[in-house]
Copies of this chain bind each other. A is one copy, B any other.
């Protein structure tokens, strides 16, 4: 365990999670027509907390492994896109623009997971649940976009 690296990557995740802590779904989200399979609200912070911890461990591991240049660049890309999504969706209520960000985030996480597996199997495994969750979040974003066509 390399604590300085772990805590730096965890702090980056903390910045991303601050969007969710400060920009609440609120009345707007409650008023949206949502698909029947939408997870209950308490699931989101729980899942994200676990995923952020796994991301930080993956970043810490990769940083210590030679040949992980591209992997670490993709780690940076995914955390920036992750930080961006919440303000666009829950802040601006721009579901379509958020969908575009979500597609970029999905591609970044998929590329990251793929690249991680080439460098460190455990780092790849640590990102797989994140890829699954972003797929679910993307399906949810897409579904709310289709169910609420009056929204921007």
Residues of A within 8 A of B (CB): 2, 4-5, 8-9, 11-13, 15-16, 18-19, 22-23, 59-60, 63-64, 66, 69-70, 72-77, 79-84, 86-88, 91-92, 94, 97, 101, 104, 108
Contacts and interface: CB of A to CB of B under 8 A. Distances in A.
A88 B66 CA distance: 37
B91 A8 contact: no
Contact of A19 (B9, B70, B76, B84): B84
Q: How many copies does the complex hold?
A: 2
Given A23-B87, A80-B80, A84-B18, A63 B73 contact: yes
Given A79-B80, A87-B91, 13 more contacts: A5-B69, A5-B73, A8-B73, A15-B80, A15-B81, A15-B101, A18-B88, A19-B84, A59-B73, A63-B72, A64-B69, A80-B83, A83-B84
Contacts of A66: 66
A9 B66 CA distance: 19
Contacts of A60: 73
Contact of A91 (B11, B82, B83, B91): B91
